[in-house]
Chain A
Amino acid sequence: MSPDPVVVTVDQTRCIGSGLCARTAPDALALGPNGRAIPVHPTAAPSHTLTEAAEMCPVEAIAVHHATTGELLAPIW
């Protein structure tokens, strides 16, 4: 059984376009034409790199939630 999918969101107001997330998790995040990060797919499979991308964001603009329960999976305080 594959793990439950997750939803990745990027707060477009907070995002400062560091690009660290796109470098860390290129399957899930990319830099958009306006220089801000956007999720590549509406949902994704949970992964270590995705968690790392959310934790690495210099302004905490990225959140990873469980797709059905809505539980915040990363970044965790």
Chain B
Amino acid sequence: MTTAAHPEAPDAQPLVPLHCLLHAEPGPPRQAALPTGTPVWVLSRHADVRQALAHPGFGRATLHAPDAPPLTLTPNILDDPASMLNSDGPDHQQIRRTVQRAFTPRAIERWRPWVDGVVRELVDELAASGSPADVVAALTKPLPVRVISRLMELEGLDIDRLGHWSDHALSTTAYTADEIRTAIREFSEFGYQLVVARRENPGEDLVSSLVQAADQTGGVTEEQLTSLTIGLVIAGHETTMTSFGNALVYLLDPQHADAWRRVGEDLSAATAATEQILRTVPLGDRTSAPGLLRRAVADVEIGGVLIPEGAIIACDAGSANHDPAVYPTGPTDLFSPLGAPSLTFGAGPHHCLGAWLARMELELGLHHLARVLPDLRLAAPVEDIAWRTGLLTRSPLRLDVAW
């Protein structure tokens, strides 16, 4: 979410849409380096990535141990040692179990009528505003914010302030380290106050149920609860907005006009297309790391290579999602079932908590937009798209569409 814009420098080469990014050919583990100079083993085959992400010999907690090599040039919220993402084993599962129940496919499905209503409302408003319109401002940005705000009962929250925090928390180069730390501190304070308030006055919302579940189970620290709460706020809107915006850049290409109409005519077509788009269109350029990072806590053999204890691996889900050993090569058939699950949401203990919510928002968003506006097209050439850059994700800053 952006309040301060981060368009690239005016003289820069136009950035290619995310679905046009080239992927490294999947192959055996290879050695590379992070921007900090830290050596990493990059895994790129579907089987290797999947195995490594589920393997107890690789963890995230030790990525932030005192002896760990530098991983990023600037801080970001994903490095918070209190976060669920950076705990392993029983510690992690204790926190994960506390929240998992609210995010199973069945639990999320109960939200469908409500999400459907929000999508219809936003799409109808967009259509009524007349052509052309900015679909980011009208739909891809407000939808995930409204959904997570409702789930967490954050109505009345200052959306711009939230966007400011979120942008800083997921920044790579857009802000200085001091700016990022200040924003994360303010955001954490907000999260902490929310936890305290919902403990005193519990409601039916997600934060209240988290606090209650954590207090009943015990062993979840206040710091972890706070981290979890603000993590849900960020994860609940940033990634979905990014996926949705990039999916539209892809689908509104004139060569996909037939697919676009089909997505609007048939919800199950939208569901299938959502899976294929999630598999093939990455969230960002991965300039900060060539994949999802883990650290070996023991010697582990993966893909024929012995990864020694203490070494860092980067699991390149983007390459793995194009592995010809698992998925057909050539142009993507948007409406064919995936077969093997894609690695977009990861695998193993840290598999994305919000995967089903993200899928639902995307499929309903694409379906209703294509249903109401079957002749939707980009109002300007793809080369003219202004992107949000300097963050872990990349998506259109605005996307003008016409019909």
For A19, give its contact among B339, B346, B348, B353 (CB under 8 Å).
B348
Chain A residue contacts of B104, Cβ below 8 A? 55-58, 60, 75
CB distance from A77 to the nearest CB of B (A): 6
Asked, given contacts A20-B97, A23-B93, A56-B101, whether A77 binds B347 with beta carbons under 8 Å apart, the answer is no
Closest partner residue, chain A, to B353 (CB atom): A58
Interface size on B, residues (CB 8 A): 28
Q: A17-32: contact bitstring with B at CB < 8 Å (1 yes, 0 no)?
A: 1111001100000010
Contact B53 A17 (CB under 8 A): yes
B51 within 8 Å of A (CB atoms) = yes
CB distance from A74 to the nearest CB of B (A): 11
> How far apart are the CA atoms of A57 and B349 in the complex, in Å?
11
Tell me the interface secondary structure of chain B in the complex.
helix
Contact B341 A13 (CB under 8 A): yes
> How far apart are the CA atoms of A56 and B93 in the complex, in Å?
11
CB distance from B344 to the nearest CB of A (A): 11
B64 within 8 Å of A (CB atoms) = no
A72 within 8 Å of B (CB atoms) = no
A68 within 8 Å of B (CB atoms) = no
Contact B106 A16 (CB under 8 A): no
Tell me the interface secondary structure of chain A in the complex.
loop
* Number of cross-chain contacts by CB at 8 Å: 72
Contact A20 B51 (CB under 8 A): no
Interface size on A, residues (CB 8 A): 21
Q: B318-334: contact bitstring with A at CB < 8 Å (1 yes, 0 no)?
A: 00000000000000000
Contact B341 A59 (CB under 8 A): yes
15 more contacts with CB within 8 A, not counting A16-B351, A35-B347, A56-B97, are A13-B340, A16-B341, A16-B345, A18-B96, A18-B349, A20-B100, A23-B90, A23-B97, A35-B50, A35-B54, A35-B348, A59-B105, A60-B104, A60-B105, A77-B109
A residues with CB within 8 A of B: 13-14, 16-20, 23-24, 31, 34-36, 55-60, 75, 77
Contact A19 B349 (CB under 8 A): yes
Chain A residue contacts of B106, Cβ below 8 A? 55, 60, 75, 77
Contact A20 B96 (CB under 8 A): yes
Contact A24 B97 (CB under 8 A): yes
> How far apart are the CA atoms of A35 and B101 in the complex, in Å?
22
Q: B90-127: contact bitstring with A at CB < 8 Å (1 yes, 0 no)?
A: 10010011001101111001000000000000000000
